[in-house]
Each structure stands twice: as C-alpha cells, then as structure tokens.
Amino acid sequence: MSTALHTDDELRAATLDIEGMTCASCVARVEKRLASVAGVQAAVNLATESAKVSIPAGVSDEDLVAAVESAGYGARVRVAGSKPAAMDEHDHTDEGRTQLGTRLLVSAILALPVIVTGMVPALQFPGWQWMALVLTLPIVVWGGWPFHRATLQNARHFTATMDTLITLGTSAALIWSVWAMFFGSAGEIGMTHDVVLFGPVHDATSLVYFEVAAGVTVFLLLGRWIEHRSKRRAGDALRTLMNLGAKAVTLATVAGADGPTVPIDELQVGDRFVARPGDKIATDGTVVSGSAAVDASMLSGESEPVAVEAGSVVTGGTIATDGRLVIEATAVGENTRLAAMARLVEDAQTGKSAVQRLADRISGVFVPIVILLSIATLIAWIVFDGSVAAGFTAAVAVLIIACPCALGLATPVAILVGTGRGAQLGILITGPEAIESAGRIDVLLADKTGTITTGTMSLVDVVVAEGVERDATVRRVAAVEAASEHPVARAIRAAVPEVPLVSDFVSTAGHGVSGVVEGETVFARKLAVGELETLPLALGNAVREAQTTTIVAGRLVDGSEVVDGVIFVADTVRDDSAHAVEQLAALGVEVRMLTGDNAEAARRAAIAVGITDITAGVSPEGKIDAVRAAQSEGKSVAMVGDGVNDAPALVAADLGLAMGGGTDAAMHASDITLVRQSLSAAADAIRLSRKTMSTIRGNLFWAFGYNVAAIPLAALGLLNPMLAGAAMAFSSVFVVLNSLRLRAFR
C-alpha cells in the first residue's frame, strides 16, 4: 500500500473516544487499523480510551469510525469543547471495575470449596464432584465472561493473548470434566482421585479438573480488577483539574460594584466580574481595578503569592488571598489556561505507551505452541497407537495442564504484597505499570516547592537595628499580621507563642499592614524595590546575604517611620532531602531540579541538598518539555511534585510520584503517591518496585516452568491427577511464598 505525503497545513486533528479496549493488544490493533487509512497518524490511549488522530485532506470522520469498528471496537469523534469520556464522573471505567469486583467476589466464594475438595483427596466426600460441577459452571461461564469475550474478539483477528490461554485452559478443563462425568466413570458416587503419583492413567474418564477451571478464573479476575482500579486514576486527574475552576461568578456592575451571581458557563469574554478575598478567580482575565496578593502556586509552584493590580493578567483557578479585584474576562471555557492544562494531561497520557505485561508477551508465543502441541499429540496417538480415545484424552490433557494456575497468582500476589508493604512505608502504588516503570528509572526530575522543600513559609531569621529588642519586634509584627491570611503573615505569627492584641488595623493589599500594638503604631511590609539602599548599613548587608523574602518592620515615632529590623521568611528544605538525593544516586538515579520558582530560590535549595542540574522559572508546559527532553536522551524519567502545575509532567513522565500533602490533581495524575511527604520515600519506592519486579519475574519463570515440564507428561498419557495436582500446588505455593518475601522489605 502506498502512503501519500501530507504537509502539516493539510492535516487536521481530531479525538476519537473508543469503546471496548481491554489490553495493550487492543491498543495496537486500533492503531494499526487507523494507520491503514492513508495518511492518518494515531496515538491510542488505553487509560482514557481515546485516540489522538492527525487526518489528511480527503479523509472523513466516518472513515476513522469505520476503521475502528472494523477492528471490533466502537468509536465516535469527540465534539470540540466536550469532555473526554475519562472525565465523566460516572464513566464506564468505574462501572466496569464494579462489575469485575462483583464477578471476583462471587466467583471466589464459589471457588473455595471446589479448590479445596479437588486438591485434598481426604475431603472428597461422596458426590463431591457434582457439587464441584454446580459451583464451577457459573464461575467459568459468568465469572470468566470478560476473558471469553476478549478471546472471541481476538479470534476474529487471528491473534492470541493471555485471554486466549485462559479461555482454552478453563474451557478444556470444564468440558473434559463434564464429559467424564456424564459419559465416563467420573460421575459415579464415591469416586475419588487416585493417590498413585507416578505411572499411566488407567481410566482417564475418572478425572475431573474443576479446581483448575475455577482457580484460574478467580486469580485472573483479581489481576484484571487491579488493572481497572489503576486505569480509573487517569479520569481522576482530569476531573480534579477541571474541578479547580469556579462553579459560579459574581459579575461586576458598570461602577465596579457587586452584581448578580451567575453560573460560570454564562460568563462571556469581555464580561467583568469580582474576586473577593479568598475567592477563586473565575476565569482568565485582566485586572481592571483593585489590588491583591494572588496565590498562583497551581501554575508557578511558588509558595509566595503574587501581587497584582490594575493591568495585571490573572489566571482562572488561582486564589485572591486578600484585596478585592474587578477583572475583565479574556478567555472562557475550553480556551482558559486551566482547560489547556487538562488537555496537556490527556495528551501526555496518550503519549505514554501502555506497558504490556510480560505474561501477555509470553502468552502470544506460548498459546499457539500449546495448540500445535495438542493437535500433534492427537495425531501422534492415532498414528502410533491407533486409539482415538487415548489420543483425544492426551490432547485435552495438554490443554488442561498448559493453563497455568500459578500464572494467575504470579503477578497479582506479588503486586498485592508489594503494594501492601509500600502502604506500610507510606508509599501508595497504583498497580503493575507503576511498579514496572519505577524499576527502570534512571533520571528523577524533582519539583522544588513542597517536594525538596516543605512548601510552607517559615521564619528563618530576624536582624534588628542597634538598641532594638529582637523578641519585642517580632511580637509586634506578629500582632499586626494576625488578621492576615497571607502565607508570610502566617509564618511570622506561628513563630510567636502569645500574640498581643492589635487595634486600628489597616491592610493595604499587596503592600503591607499596620496597627496599634501595646500603645505603639506598628507597620510591616514587604521590602520594596529601591528600599534596600535606605536601610541602616547592618540591615542592608543582612538583606543582601539572605536572599529570601524580606519583611521590613518598624514603628511610627512622632509621625515618622523608624525601621526596627528586617524579618526573613522562606520556604525551608525538608530535613531528609539531602539524604534522599544521596540514596537516589546510590541507586544509579540522577536527580535534577525542575521548578517554576525563581532562579535564586532554586539555587539555594539545590545547593542545600546537593543537586547540580537546575532548571527554574518553568511553566507547566515547560515541565512537559523537560520530561520529553530527558526521555529523548534515552533515559527512563520519573517526575516528583505536589502541585497542579506538576500534573501534566507527572503524566508525561515514565513514572509520576506525587507528595501526599500536595494537591488532588497531582496525586490523581501520579503513578505513586508518597504519603510520607518525603523525598526519601521516592528512593524507597524505586527500591521496592525493583524488588517486586524481580519477584514477579521469578514467579513467571516457575509458573511457565511447571507447564513446560508437565506438558510432555500429558502428551505421553502419563498425566496422573495427583501428580498434576501436587505439581500445580507446589508451583502455586512457591509463587505465594516467593511473593510474601516482599513483606520483609526495608
């Protein structure tokens, strides 16, 4: 097939919402079908069940939908401005997880007596096999339907996955057992499995394999439920970002007074609205009148609010901490900066390839080989023994023994133990993909504010003029700051156990506060531009050396300002950050600082913890660029942060780690949440993930090793039920015990 070349000007972009994808094979199949439409380029995202498509001239939306439908999936072109399916608060991902949970719970309850009686001959009471039949039928048919449905879909396209192996094995075990009970001797009351471990099976029709069919179905349902729980988080990140916006807005009158309050959807470009102290700014706009300190940490990552006044540009979702603003809207709806960040998150998820599990990759080869061996076994018995019945028995036995019970445990048990141990250590891991990604990390991009540092302002030093009492100065300033919610004010107030009363309090948004404390008029303000040279020499030198947020404190004496001292407030480095950087280096992980804060603040924090690679003043879009630049170096990249501004980069990275005390958007966008709020937890997460992946690989080796060794026995007609049961039990027990070793991780 020839492919025409198209310039960027000829291409248009579209997003498809796709229904029915369940695994990485589905993603590859959809991408392949879309790519078969001449000139179309597509990136399919399993997490959000969507595809970003570049479409050349001459290709219609209907062509794209038809291509997806030809692969066996549903599709629709997303209308501009509508929410992605993953952002629907009642999306089918959550519904699917609930249905899987129900299937898992019911199947597990029914399977327990089947597995116990099938594998312990002493418990095989008269008629036990009929009880096993009644309980196994709903497990395999209803509980295992998600796997059978995927198998049928795969068969239409001549492909085989883990689902195919599950369907073949469980169906063969069930069908053979039913046939043996109705047409063989397995249905006789009082029948038990022989206890002879070695030697040929003299009566193959006395064998039933209900425990295999039931056990494999339950274990694989557990693994699929874990996958769906992890997948749900993609939608959580998008929903949280959009929920940051205001739901209603107070319009401003022509004179600038408060007008009616209307839903945010009714706000139009050019409308003027009000933002009062503590309000979320409703949408992107320009300040018309008023002044305030605005908490813009969701975009910049800086812990200190930004002073805005008439003419300043503000962003929807940020918060006016003090002062009243009248703002003219410059963008609304999907054109706002917040909506753009949500699109960045979704686009980053699409660009992040789904991790195909090792078991699926092996099964792609293993399943066809098993089918061929089963057919070859049947033919060989007919040719060399002349017995169709014996050949059929051996062929079915090959399929039964090829369905690895231990494989169903290999990944889920290790994941459950590993994630459980992680939770005990303050590390919340979403699932298999996070663990696999964490095990490969060799570069960690760390945000500064709230990650390397505490993210909260605190008083770090006070320098007073000659003859002025230090503690009295701080007490007076804490008193006038007591009525303010500004982070700097809170930091000063927190440093004083008992704050005196203040009267005649005055606050000028963005400039400072004043009031009467213990009979004296006291003022406190942020060091203004050009004020440094007017300070007494000792105070000026202290300011030059500190390079932190500086508050000028003083009193009014005979109507004139007298500066008593300067108070330094800063976001302080976490106690264990330097040690964490050392730990990560010992793991072969290079740590780079990536922050929206200013260069000087970034440099100070980096020096304190031993980081040499620093990028400061970075926007959310710039953080994504930094992640992709590191990935283009061939690095496996982790991003750790705590703010909304970090969310797109957390998704774009191979591994996203969010600080537990950060924003919901960051935690939903991440693969791992560090509840301990410590950079050392990131090092522990990487070590735990590497150990868990090592355990999974060991489990998979033993799970497949058992089958490889047992298949020849089945093919030769030597498959004794007790020998097979003992081998299967040993394989499963080994996998469980091997996984439980993760509980000792330190």
Place of tokens 């054109």: 335
CB 252 within 8 A of CB 259: yes
Calpha distance 204→142 (Å, rounded): 28
Calpha distance 503→482 (Å, rounded): 11
CB 602 within 8 A of CB 595: yes
Dihedral sign of CA atoms 646, 650, 651, 654 in order: positive
Residue 205, burial from CB neighbour count under 10 angstroms (0-12, 13-18, 19+): middle
Structural element, H or E, at residue 51: strand 50-55
Whole-Å CA distances, 299 to 278, 578, 644: 17, 26, 7
Q: What is the DSSP letter of 280?
A: B
CB 499 within 8 A of CB 482: yes
User: What is the distance, to the nearest Å, from the Cα of residue 506 to the centroid of all Cα atoms in its chain?
Assistant: 46
The one-letter amino acid at 488: V
Q: How many residues does the chain have?
A: 746
Q: Which two tokens stand for residue 271?
A: 């409308």
Strand partners, 594: 615
Q: What is the DSSP letter of 85?
A: G
Sequence-ordered strand ranges (E) for 217-346: 248-252, 258-263, 272-275, 285-289, 292-295, 306-308, 313-314, 319-322, 325-329
HEC-encoded secondary structure of 516-585: EECCEEEEEEECCCCCHHHCCHHHHHHHHHHCCEEEEEEEEECCEEEEEEEEEEEEEECCCHHHHHHHHH
The one-letter amino acid at 743: R
Sequence-ordered strand ranges (E) for 558-682: 560-573, 590-594, 614-615, 637-641, 655-659, 672-674
Place of tokens 């089945």: 714
The one-letter amino acid at 235: G
CB 277 within 8 A of CB 324: yes
End-to-end CA gap in the chain: 56
What backbone torsions phi and psi does residue 597 show, to the nearest 5 degrees?
-75, 170
Half-sphere exposure of 238 (CA within 13 A, CB side): 24
Structural element, H or E, at residue 664: helix 664-669
Calpha distance 295→244 (Å, rounded): 13
Neighbours of 3 (CB within 10 A): 11
CB 445 within 8 A of CB 594: yes
Calpha distance 25→159 (Å, rounded): 9
Q: Which residues are catalytic?
A: 447
Which positions ≥6 away from 190 have C-beta within 8 Å?
A: 126
Structural element, H or E, at residue 105: helix 92-119
